[in-house]
Amino acid sequence: MRQAEERAFRRASSFTFMRRAGEAVAHFVLQRFAKTSRIVVACGSGNNGGDGYIAAQKLATRGFDVLVLALGKSRSMDAARACKHCWLPRIGLEELDACIEKALQGEKVVLIDAMFGIGLTRPLQGMARSVATRFLKARRGGAVVLAVDLPSGLFADASCVEEGGVVVADVTLCFFRKKAAHVLLPSRALCGEIVCEDIGFKQEDCSDVDTFENEPALFAQAAFCKPLDLQTHKHRRGSVVVVRSQMAGAARLVAEGATRSGAGLVRLLSDATEAAPPLSIAGLPASVIEDGRGGQQTLQQTLRETAQGRRESTAFAYGFGAPPDEQTLNVVRVLASSGCRLVLDAGALRAMGEGGAREIFSSFQAPVVLTPHAGEFRALFAFDRALLAESSPFVRARRAAQMAGAVVVVKGGDTLVASPDGRLSVLVESSPCLATAGSGDVLAGVIAGFLAEEGDAFLAASAAVWLHAQAGQEMEEVYGRAVRADDLPSAIGERFARLLSHEQRDCY
């Protein structure tokens, strides 16, 4: 954002953009809260406070009863100019308390937080902290809290959320582009509804941005989103090899996820050293081929055939239900050095963390996707304390991807997909019902299916994460908190079909 401002200020003065920001706040309040009885604007000493002074003056000229709470002398020239031109009287905490009491008695009050914006680098203290506490009390009593750019107390990179010392907003009005704190948890939950206003910046002002909200516009042109050719065949559509351990349920869910991703062929192979008897997997799609003969010998033969191009567009998936032991680690080594596309999850990640993650990272030759949740992430990268201590989720995910030479999917309510080339996507719409056993297995199967057809692992993983979340939301509407992982594959297929429809594609 600072880079965008530097470029934009060559076209117009910085105060021009401050004025536009303040006017945008006033216009939003006028449109959304026209019947408000009273408005209180808390203005800090920086540029965020300058936005607040301009908004307060504009609202007062439109007939609103506006009060201004000033937290201190303005520090920047633009903020001082805005403060000087705001002729409204200033109030203190006692007058704020009186307004809050009226809100608690049912009067319609809007509290505008213009104390701190994206420049905050330390927790709220003193008067600012007291105001945040009072805003929270008023909000519980029915007042509406509108944050300018970012709720005060949040760091823009979402590296710090101090409980009790942050403004909790009903609406956050940000400018030009969202910041990390608008999309990452837990800070996202404190922003309320997020509305992004255009105040005169241009696309070229931030043309080098490589961080995206995970949505169809990001991956709509990928191979797996394109219409099928009439002359295609099952191998060209992408085939997935699920390397299974002894947990039959996990293997089945991965296989089902892969079939619903549009993969033309899904095979189950054993990670056992010797030949393993076929597993009896109830409900496994009839099209899935299971081959327990030969154990790792069959697996290595399949890897050789894939590397030699005899099996087009194939991705391997491994780790589901595998114990973090030496045998699992050996299978990972074989897969990593094969030169084949690969998805690694669960036991495979923990086994790598136990003995040789850096060695295996250096052997990756083809697109690889690692899918750790928070605990697996810590285990996988335990050798780098500096990485685990990094406070910014974006920085941590990017460094992990660069270190691994692979796409890293950091799973959670705000799943991040980070690529070694610096691209990063963040999921902003998900369902807590996805926090259930087997959900990650389904996701891994979808990633593998997309990866088999699309060589860009970042796009494949981002699309799978988005589709998985969409399916979770739809199943939540049907089953509530009783969603099972088994419910997800069919929902993924239906949601994928809508994404691929002409009507849906035209939206992106």
- pLDDT tens digits, the chain, 508 residues: what are they? 888 888 888 888 999 999 999 999 999 999 999 888 899 999 999 999 999 999 999 999 999 999 999 998 989 999 999 999 999 989 999 999 998 888 888 889 999 999 999 888 888 999 999 999 999 999 988 899 999 999 999 998 877 777 668 999 999 999 988 999 999 998 999 999 999 998 888 888 877 778 999 999 999 998 888 877 776 666 667 789 999 887 878 888 999 999 999 887 888 887 765 555 555 555 566 556 666 565 667 777 778 777 776 556 889 999 998 999 998 999 999 999 888 899 999 999 999 998 789 999 999 989 999 999 999 999 999 999 999 999 889 999 999 999 999 999 999 999 999 999 999 999 998 899 999 999 999 999 999 999 998 889 999 999 999 999 999 999 999 999 899 999 999 999 999 999 888 544 444 4
- Euclidean distance between CA atoms 162 and 184, whole angstroms: 15
C-alpha 462 chain-centroid distance: 10
DSSP labels for 413-447? Answer: TT-EEE-TTS-EEE-----GGG-STTHHHHHHHHH
Q: Assess contact for 69 and 40: CB atoms under 8 A.
A: yes
Tokens of 335: 């897969």
Same domain? For 99 and 201 the reply is yes
Residue type, 27: H
Closest of 155, 146, 152, 228 to residue 195, by C-alpha = 146
Question: What CATH number does residue 73 fall under?
Answer: 3.40.50.10260
DSSP labels for 359-411? Answer: HHHTT--S-EEE---HHHHHHHTTT-HHHHH---HHHHHHHHHHHHTSEEEE-
Q: Residue 321, by phi and psi: left (phi above 0), alpha (psi -120 to 50) or beta?
A: left
Alpha helices, DSSP H only, in 122-278? Answer: 126-140, 180-183, 187-190, 216-219, 248-260
Give the pLDDT score at 505: 46
Give the pLDDT score at 160: 72
Same domain? For 472 and 423 the reply is yes
Closest of 267, 44, 16, 63 to residue 152, by C-alpha = 44
β-partners of residue 109 are 38
Q: How far apart are the first and last CA of the chain?
A: 25
DSSP annotation of 263 reads -
Tokens of 443: 């996701």
Same domain? For 371 and 490 the reply is yes
Q: In which domain, by residue range, is 177 found?
A: 2-209
DSSP annotation of 227 reads P
Same domain? For 260 and 391 the reply is yes
The pairing of strands 314-318 and 90-91 is: unpaired
Question: What CATH number does residue 464 fall under?
Answer: 3.40.1190.20
Enter the pTM of the model: 0.90
261 phi/psi in degrees, rounded to 5: -80, -5
Q: Assess contact for 416 and 465: CB atoms under 8 A.
A: no
C-alpha 177 chain-centroid distance: 15
- Burial group, residue 169, by CB count within 10 angstroms (0-12, 13-18, 19+): buried
- Last-in-domain residue among 209, 244, 272: 209
Name the 3-class secondary structure at 458.
Answer: helix
Closest of 43, 112, 106 to residue 80, by C-alpha = 43
β-partners of residue 394 are none
Q: b vs e for 35-44, b when ≥16 Cβ sit within 10 Å of the residue's Cβ?
A: ebebbbbbbb
Same domain? For 281 and 202 the reply is no
β-partners of residue 464 are none
Largest Cα–Cα distance of the chain, in whole Å? Answer: 84
Residue in the structure block whose two tokens are 């796409």 = 407
Same domain? For 358 and 499 the reply is yes
Closest of 472, 473, 400, 401 to residue 438, by C-alpha = 472
Give the pLDDT score at 477: 92
Name the 3-class secondary structure at 42.
Answer: strand
Closest of 243, 480, 213, 494 to residue 346, by C-alpha = 243
Same domain? For 419 and 299 the reply is yes
Give how many domains the chain has, as a whole number. 2
Angle in degrees, CA 261, 266, 271, rounded to 5? 125
- Other Cβ atoms less than 10 A from the Cβ of 374: the count is 10
Same domain? For 285 and 175 the reply is no
Same domain? For 260 and 181 the reply is no
Same domain? For 59 and 123 the reply is yes
Same domain? For 168 and 243 the reply is no
Closest of 361, 355, 463 to residue 409, by C-alpha = 463
Same domain? For 170 and 283 the reply is no
- Euclidean distance between CA atoms 177 and 195, whole angstroms: 10
Give the pLDDT score at 506: 47
Tokens of 201: 């910046």
- Euclidean distance between CA atoms 254 and 290, whole angstroms: 13
Give the pLDDT score at 274: 56
